[in-house]
């Protein structure tokens, strides 16, 4: 059970905590005269950028977590036989 917990903590837990902490601590406004948002020369704020990157990484991390659990299960099954 421990390898599964370690794998999922590294692939799902750590990125989740990192996104939440960074979203809460990074500025919610852009420096200078840049407007906040997407499009028309505007850029997302640092806090919103972290959420965007987290949303883009979530499907990849989900698949990586499932694949890692499958690999752990296969290796354990082969070792036990």
* DSSP conformational letter for 44: -
Give which of 61, 26, 68, 17 is closest to 47, Cα–Cα: 26
Q: What share of the chain is helix, strand, coil (3-state, %, to 5)?
A: 75, 5, 20
Residue with tokens 């698949």: 63
Cβ neighbors of 34 (< 8 A, separation 6 or more) are 41, 42, 43
pTM above threshold 0.85: no
pLDDT digits (tens, 9 = 90+) for 32-73: 777 887 878 788 999 999 999 999 999 999 999 999 999 999
Provide the terminal-to-terminal Cα distance of the chain, rounded to the nearest Å: 18
The model's confidence at residue 2, banded by pLDDT at 50, 70 and 90, is very high
Mapped onto helix, strand or coil, the DSSP state of residue 27 is coil
């Amino acid at each position: 059970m421990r390898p599964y917990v370690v794998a999922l903590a590294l692939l799902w837990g750590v990125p989740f905590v990192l996104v939440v902490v960074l979203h809460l601590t990074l500025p919610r406004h852009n420096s200078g005269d840049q407007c906040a948002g997407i499009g028309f020369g505007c850029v997302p704020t640092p806090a919103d950028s972290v959420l965007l990157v987290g949303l883009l990484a979530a499907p990849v991390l989900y698949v990586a977590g499932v694949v890692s659990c499958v690999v752990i299960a296969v290796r354990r099954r082969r070792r036990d036989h």
